Amino acid sequence: MNVNHLKIATRLALGFGIVQALMAVMTAVVFMRLDYLDGRTQYLATLQQRAAMSSEWRAQAELNVSRVLAIAKSGGSSVLADYFGPQMRTTSERITELQKTMTDAVDTEQGKALVAAIAAQRNKYADVREQVLEHFARGDGAGGEALLTKDMMPAAQAYVASIEKLAGFQTRLVVEGMEEARTSVLATEALLIALLLVGLVACGGAAWLITRSITRPPHPPAQNSPSAKNTAVNSRSATTIATTHCTTVAVVALPTPAAPPLTISPFTQAMDPISSPNTADLPTPV
């Protein structure tokens, strides 16, 4: 499409249309990127919440393990058992709640495997703990101490270590999510700058093209083009018509009137001997 063939109003409307289209594209891209960043921010907040729950789970497990060890090291003291008993039940309920929440919230295969491993280690630790406490309750301090050292301590360490793995995994996901969010922000900034440059170039080019098409003088047609040939023929025709008109005017021009006959009076001849036709007949002056 040749812009020179369009009306000025059409050219201006085309220029404004290009500007509006670029604004619409830039706005749509910005909204899409902001929506994506909003989703990533919400997911990052979810990961941070999971990491916090994993850390709390580990702290609660360590707390209950410490209480059980205190009772076991005291030889199954009933005073300590009565003191720590209600606290241990409350902590166990909170641990069960955290375990259920994390089981439902974790959405990666590795995270699900870690949660399953924690559940298995917890069951193993709980069984050994009950056996140790039963030994001390029966007054079998030696059997309880041996079982504590042989089975309960390794089980407790494995249980806490499995929760530590989950907490570390969730923390690593948070760090990776923050890095990805920062990368997305930088990519969005680069995209906006690129769109700005494209918009400036497109708008500037359209403005230059439209202004040039309006202000530049028309180019003469080429010599061999049909318009040039028609111009030459019209020029020759105009010259011929003008010449014929001038000739016709010369032909039909009015004739110049003839001069009247010269009459010489005797007085004129006497006064002007040169103009007299018969100079020889004049008397010779004395």
Question: What sign has the CA pseudo-torsion 222, 227, 232, 235?
Answer: negative
Domains assigned to the chain: 3-215 (1.20.1440.210)
Amino acid at 259: A
Q: Which residue has the tokens 């003088």?
A: 217
State the first-to-last Cα distance of the chain, in angstroms, to the nearest integer.
108
* Residue 155 and residue 128 in contact, taking contact as beta carbons nearer than 8 Å: yes
115's tokens: 């949660």
Please tell me the predicted confidence (pLDDT) of residue 238: 46
Long-range contacts of 81-86 (CB under 8 A, 24+ apart): 81/133
In this prediction, residue 2 carries a pLDDT of 67
How is residue 34 written in tokens?
A: 């902001």
pTM equals: 0.60
- Provide the pLDDT for residue 220: 53
Q: What is the mean pLDDT of each run of 10 residues along the chain (286 residues)?
A: 70 79 85 87 89 92 90 82 89 92 90 92 91 83 84 91 92 90 87 86 81 66 52 49 43 48 47 46 46
